[in-house]
């Protein structure tokens, strides 16, 4: 039988990064082939080459036996390659049906839209997924989980022969996951080949036929899913035997409470969130996508307005209404999205480091002291090991890990003693990750209060002295850190939905 | 034979063009090319008097373009610089001619009026979150109307204020160096350019100007009071427009309330030709200055060649599109 997809010797380079090194991957009709690897292993890059988003620098991409790599997402679609992205890309103001058929709307004569055909066809796809949703409902009004299902419906509407699913269950609860797997089984029976990317190990056992492991941009192994123990897969992913190193939890019982939050509320996003962090403590925030962790951070930092609740800094009530107020109170926030919210990419390393503390380098007349700024920037480049040719390099040209260090330098310079890290290692490779971890631990040891929000459970467990878990905008529990807490306990809290949800 | 000769010549030319693009000298090179072409085409072009006429024609548009550059670097746009200029001129007229106050107060009135208008635009943009395009469009109409209302739709002449016309038309340089009668208007343009350039490159205000245009949300999340800085930049821009108002009033020795509409587009054109990005975050005053000079040289040169006025406008439009296209190509290459 001809392979549906056969990728061999794939090479891809980005400025400063060798992202894919001689990678191979194949897919048969009617199989689920799981693609595993840590963040930054190159899975998404490989899939972007298969789906026509990136062009490869070397290697062959054979579809149905012919070397014919798609040169655009459109070409990939025409070849029957569908992809469900990790990040949602729905247009919130359009209806579910309009989203599903965007760009291919059924038409009547003279280019008039055929809304009823649009809705009927979408309803058909929803029915095949066993999904109870009105095609005319606005995408933006749906929960994250249901938005994810709209994305899946959109991919199915192309009747793909190859379907790439990049963490499709990240935001789904158990029932929804079971339904998704039912859809996958039906697609398999129809001969569709499915490439499945997920960090949830148990899913691999449940759904995958074969597993390919990647690490640091290279192909490691392709194995039979049923016959390979999970521990073996994890070992291949990490490249060493997995040793759970629980954090050494310092005794902070006598420490002063640095930040306390009481009854935080905001619209439908956040309901009655209360917690506190002590000086020298690392409080981890776990939860699924859309659980409201980032929202809580943004409210505390004054980036979004709160509808209710109190924020106490060092025991004093603080009326934080803007990031300016928050920074004044000594709170720093490192966004999950460095490129949009953390850095001015066209500006130099020096300018970015100084951004939050410009006052330190300004004379009374407003003139900047570039020499002092350079000295400070060079100091941080040295101290944090930021790899950059010079302090005048544009931040946009640095790697993810080094960009993150620039953001950290910015807040260290501002001397904030409460730091909120939102996904501190997103998009950062394995080596740089442990450096960032050490840095966070050092900061806590210096008496700073640290909040770490992370979607990667191992990261939360590796760093946190205590673990706060959120689900659907509520704080569902706070667990002790270290060896006392198992991954399952966190997952249980992260999926503990409200007892009697209204509607839905 | 031809292939042999054109081959190396072509690579030489493309290398030269590449080098020019790389060094961001494109606008400057275009200016030089224009000067050479026009002086070859007409012996009258390269006369000192004509050069001075070009500089004089650049002064008002140049000052307005510098004001617009500041706002455009923040990622905004200012459509009101033209009518604001007129409003400032009218305010000078009110203070000097109608109230009969001394000259320095008229200068203060014009610059102060501009700064206040900028403050208002900045507040609309920063505090009320009105998009700059809309906020300054509204401001443009408000100021046009106010100029007509305050002046009673009639020009205000400055005949009773001795020395007012010297602000633009006198020549301090000419008094010292008689062979170089550069008018004060041009001198003021260069002084304003120098100050603006210094502010942009050396002060916090300038740094935030670029930072806001580069990534406003990141700046806000750095705990910077972005609203306040943005308002300050619009106010500074307005003050510079006030200087432009003085220049035009002095040159015409009157405040013409119906004037002003269209100047904002000329100013924005100069900014764009000078390589400032309309999406913000990038730009230089020297670029804007060169942009303004290119427009003046073009208008003057085409007139010297007796090209019809209608065609001059067409050519200017084409140059704008060409300049921005070249800039995009350069940026794409450098990425």
Of B204, B211, B223, the CB nearest to A323: B223
Both structure tokens of A340: 């949009």
Q: What is the dihedral of CA B256, B262, B264, B267, to 10 degrees?
A: -100
What single DSSP character describes residue A260?
E
Cα distance between residue B183 and residue A446, in whole Å: 63
Neighbouring CB atoms inside 10 A of A182's CB total 12
Give the CATH number for residue A441: 3.40.50.300
Contact residues on chain A for B220, CB-CB shorter than 8 A: 303, 322-323
Confirm or reject contact between B316 and chain A (CB < 8 A): no
Residue B80, pLDDT > 90, answer yes
What is the 3-class SS of B245-266, one letter each residue? HHHHHHHHCEECCCCCCCHHHH
Cα radius of gyration rounded to whole Å, chain A: 24
ipTM above 0.85, yes or no: no
Write out the DSSP string of A183-231: HHHHHHHTT-EEEEE-S-HHHHHHH-SEEEEEETTEEEEEEETTTS-HH
Among B216, B218, B225, B277, pick the best mutation site for testing chain A contact (most A Cβ within 10 A).
B218
For chain B, give every domain's residue range. Answer: 48-329
Q: Which residues pair with A273 in a beta bridge?
A: A264
Contact residues on chain B for A318, CB-CB shorter than 8 A: none
Instruction: For A229-286, write each residue's pLDDT tens digit.
Output: 887 887 787 776 555 566 777 877 788 899 999 999 998 889 999 999 999 999 999 9
Instruction: For A66-96, write each residue's pLDDT tens digit.
Output: 888 888 888 888 899 988 876 667 888 889 9
pLDDT at B14: 66
Confirm or reject contact between B218 and chain A (CB < 8 A): yes
pLDDT at A481: 84
Phi first, then psi, for residue B206 (nearest 5°) are -65, -45
The residue whose two tokens read 């505090």 is B127
Tell me if A116 sits within 8 A of A200, measured CB to CB. no
Q: Which residues pair with A451 in a beta bridge?
A: A283, A420
pLDDT at A457: 79
Both structure tokens of A110: 């003279």
Which of the residue ranges A157-171, A489-503, B170-184, B295-309 would you say has the lowest mean pLDDT? A489-503
Domain B48-329 has what CATH class?
mainly alpha
Contact residues on chain A for B335, CB-CB shorter than 8 A: none
Task: Band the pLDDT of B275: cuts 50, 70, 90.
Answer: confident
What is the span of the domain harbouring residue A489?
Answer: 258-494
Q: For chain B, what is the largest distance between any 2 Cα atoms, rounded to a whole number of angstroms?
A: 78
Residue A10, pLDDT > 90, answer yes
Write out the DSSP string of A5-36: EEEEEEEEEETTEEEEEEEEEEE-TT-EEEEE
pLDDT at B267: 95
How confident is the model over B165-174, as a mean pLDDT? 88
Instruction: For B81-115, write each residue's pLDDT tens digit.
Output: 999 999 999 999 999 999 999 999 999 999 999 99
Is A145 a domain residue?
A: no
pLDDT at A67: 85
pLDDT, mean over chain B: 89
How confident is the model over A359-386, as a mean pLDDT? 90
Tell me if B82 sits within 8 A of B260, measured CB to CB. yes
Cα distance between residue B67 and residue B264, in whole Å: 10
Task: For residue A102, give how far its alpha carbon lies from the nearest alpha carbon of chain B (Å).
Answer: 28
pLDDT, mean over chain A: 86
pLDDT at A502: 41
pTM beyond 0.80: no
Tell me if B241 sits within 8 A of B64, measured CB to CB. yes
pLDDT at A222: 94
Of A324, A332, A414, the CB nearest to B225: A324
Cα distance between residue A503 and residue B15, in whole Å: 68
List all residues 6 or more positions away from B234 whose beta carbon is below 8 Å from its beta carbon.
Answer: B71, B76, B78, B118, B119, B121, B122, B125
pLDDT at A27: 94
Write out the DSSP string of B174-236: HHHSTT----HHHHHHHHHHHHHHHHHHHBHHHHHHHHHHHHHHHHHTTT--HHHHHHHHHHH
User: Quick one: which of A313, A273, A320 has its CA closest to A453?
Assistant: A273
Task: Band the pLDDT of B9: cuts 50, 70, 90.
Answer: low
Is A457 a domain residue?
A: yes
Instruction: For B25-66, write each residue's pLDDT tens digit.
Output: 778 888 898 899 999 988 888 888 899 999 999 999 999 999
Closest chain B residue by Cα to residue A297: B221
Count H helices and E strands in chain B, helices first.
Answer: 14, 2
pLDDT at B17: 59
Cα distance between residue A342 and residue B286, in whole Å: 30
Count structural domains, chain A. 2
Instruction: For B181-207, write each residue's pLDDT tens digit.
Output: 889 999 999 999 999 999 998 899 999
How confident is the model over A419-441, as a mean pLDDT? 81
Phi first, then psi, for residue B186 (nearest 5°) are -70, -40
**Cβ distance of A301 and B221 shorter than 8 Å:** yes
Q: Residue A191 region, left (φ>0) first, then alpha (ψ -120 to 50), else beta?
A: left
pLDDT at B5: 43
Both structure tokens of A246: 């629980």
Is A300 a domain residue?
A: yes
User: Quick one: which of B86, B81, B83 has its CA closest to B70?
Assistant: B81
Residue A503, pLDDT > 90, answer no
Question: Which of A67, A95, A125 finishes a domain?
Answer: A67
Residue B214, pLDDT > 50, answer yes
**A140-to-A96, A267, A295, A469, A470 alpha-carbon distances in Å:** 9, 15, 17, 25, 21
Cα distance between residue A47 and residue A27, in whole Å: 12
Cα distance between residue B335 and residue B327, in whole Å: 12
Residue B133, pLDDT > 60, answer yes
List all residues 6 or more positions away from B252 whose beta carbon is below 8 Å from its beta carbon.
Answer: none
pLDDT at B6: 46
pLDDT at B21: 53
**Cβ distance of A326 and B223 shorter than 8 Å:** yes
How confident is the model over B229-256, as a mean pLDDT? 96
How confident is the model over A6-24, as a mean pLDDT? 87
Q: What is the percent of chain A where pLDDT is above 70?
A: 94
Contact residues on chain A for B210, CB-CB shorter than 8 A: 344, 346-347, 351
How confident is the model over B137-149, as a mean pLDDT? 96
User: Quick one: which of B90, B136, B93 has its CA closest to B237?
Assistant: B136
Q: What is the percent of chain A where pLDDT is above 90?
A: 40
Is A451 a domain residue?
A: yes
pLDDT at B1: 37
Question: Which of A43, A67, A91 finishes a domain?
Answer: A67
pLDDT at B3: 41
Tell me if A300 sits within 8 A of A331, measured CB to CB. yes
Is A502 a domain residue?
A: no
Task: Band the pLDDT of A220: cuts 50, 70, 90.
Answer: very high
């Amino acid at each position: 039988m001809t392979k549906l997809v056969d990728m061999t010797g794939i090479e891809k380079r980005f400025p400063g990064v060798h992202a894919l090194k001689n990678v191979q991957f194949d897919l048969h009709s009617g199989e689920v082939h799981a693609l595993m690897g840590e963040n930054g292993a190159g899975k998404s890059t490989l899939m972007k080459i298969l789906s026509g988003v990136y062009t490869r620098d070397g290697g062959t991409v054979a579809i149905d036996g012919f070397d014919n790599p798609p040169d655009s997402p459109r070409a990939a679609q025409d070849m029957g390659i569908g992809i469900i992205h990790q990040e949602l890309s729905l247009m919130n103001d359009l209806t579910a049906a309009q989203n599903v058929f965007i760009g291919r709307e059924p038409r009547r004569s003279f280019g008039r839209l055929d809304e009823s055909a649009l809705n009927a066809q979408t309803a058909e796809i929803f029915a095949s997924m066993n999904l109870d949703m009105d095609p005319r409902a606005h995408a933006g009004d749906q929960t994250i989980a249901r938005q994810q299902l709209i994305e899946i419906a959109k991919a199915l509407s192309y009747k793909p022969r190859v379907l790439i699913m990049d963490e499709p269950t990240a935001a789904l609860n158990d029932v929804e996951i079971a339904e998704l797997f039912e859809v996958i089984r039906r697609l398999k029976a129809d001969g569709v080949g499915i490439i499945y990317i997920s960090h949830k190990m148990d899913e691999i056992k449940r759904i995958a036929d074969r597993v390919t492991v990647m690490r640091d941009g290279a192909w490691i192994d392709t194995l039979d899913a049923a016959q390979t123990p999970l521990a073996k897969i994890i070992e291949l992913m990490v490249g060493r035997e997995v040793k759970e190193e629980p954090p050494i939890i310092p005794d902070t019982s006598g420490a002063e409470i640095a930040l306390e939050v009481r009854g935080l509320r905001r619209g439908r996003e956040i309901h009655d969130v209360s917690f506190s962090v002590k000086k020298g403590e690392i409080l981890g925030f776990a939860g699924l996508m859309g659980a409201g962790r980032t929202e809580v951070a943004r409210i505390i930092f004054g980036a979004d307005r709160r509808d209710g609740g109190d924020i106490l800094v060092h025991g004093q009530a603080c009326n934080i209404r803007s990031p300016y107020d928050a920074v004044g109170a000594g709170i720093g926030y490192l966004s999950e999205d460095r490129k949009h919210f953390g850095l001015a990419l066209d500006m130099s390393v020096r300018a970015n480091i100084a951004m939050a503390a410009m006052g330190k380098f300004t004379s009374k007349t407003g003139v900047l002291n570039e020499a002092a700024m350079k000295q400070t920037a060079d100091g941080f480049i040295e101290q944090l090991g930021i790899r950059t040719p010079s302090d005048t390099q544009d931040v946009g040209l640095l790697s993810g890990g080094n960009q993150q260090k620039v953001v950290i330098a910015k807040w260290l310079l501002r001397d904030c003693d409460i730091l909120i890290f939102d996904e501190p290692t997103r998009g950062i490779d394995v080596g740089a990750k442990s450096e960032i971890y050490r840095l966070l631990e050092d900061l806590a040891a210096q008496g700073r209060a640290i909040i770490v929000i992370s979607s990667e459970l191992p990261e939360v467990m590796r760093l946190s002295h205590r673990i706060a878990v959120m689900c659907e905008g509520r704080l569902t529990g706070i667990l002790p850190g270290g060896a006392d807490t198992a991954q399952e306990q966190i997952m249980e809290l992260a999926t503990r939905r409200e007892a009697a949800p209204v509607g839905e | 034979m031809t292939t042999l000769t054109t081959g190396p010549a072509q690579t030489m030319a493309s290398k030269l063009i590449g080098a020019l693009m790389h060094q961001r000298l494109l606008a400057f090179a275009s200016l030089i090319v224009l000067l050479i072409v026009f002086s070859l085409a007409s012996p009258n072009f390269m006369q000192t008097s004509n050069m001075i006429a070009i500089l004089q024609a650049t002064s008002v548009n140049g000052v307005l373009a510098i004001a617009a550059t500041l706002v455009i670097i923040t990622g905004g746009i200012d459509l009101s610089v033209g009518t604001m200029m007129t409003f400032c001129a009218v305010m000078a007229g009110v203070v000097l001619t109608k109230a009969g106050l001394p000259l320095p107060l008229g200068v203060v009135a014009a610059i102060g009026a501009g700064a206040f208008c900028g403050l208002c635009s900045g507040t609309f943009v920063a505090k009320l979150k009105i998009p700059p395009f809309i906020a300054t469009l509204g401001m443009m109409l408000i100021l046009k109307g106010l100029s007509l209302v305050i002046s009673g739709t009639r020009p205000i002449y400055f005949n009773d204020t001795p020395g007012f016309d010297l602000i633009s038309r006198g020549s301090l340089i000419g008094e010292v160096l008689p062979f170089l009668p550069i008018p004060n208007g041009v001198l003021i343009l260069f002084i304003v350019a120098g100050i603006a350039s210094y502010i942009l490159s050396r002060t916090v205000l300038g740094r935030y100007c670029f930072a806001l245009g580069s990534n406003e949300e990141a700046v806000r999340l750095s705990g910077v009071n972005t609203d306040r800085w943005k308002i300050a930049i619009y106010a500074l821009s307005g003050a510079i427009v006030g200087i432009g108002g003085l220049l035009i009033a002095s040159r015409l020795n009157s405040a013409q309330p119906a004037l002003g509409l269209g100047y904002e587009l000329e100013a924005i054109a100069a900014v764009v030709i000078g390589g400032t990005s309309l999406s913000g975050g990038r730009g230089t005053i020297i670029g804007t200055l060169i942009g303004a000079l290119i427009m003046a040289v073009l208008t003057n040169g085409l007139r010297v060649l007796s090209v019809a006025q209608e065609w001059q406008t067409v050519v200017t439009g084409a140059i704008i599109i060409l300049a921005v296209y070249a800039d995009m190509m350069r940026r794409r290459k450098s990425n």
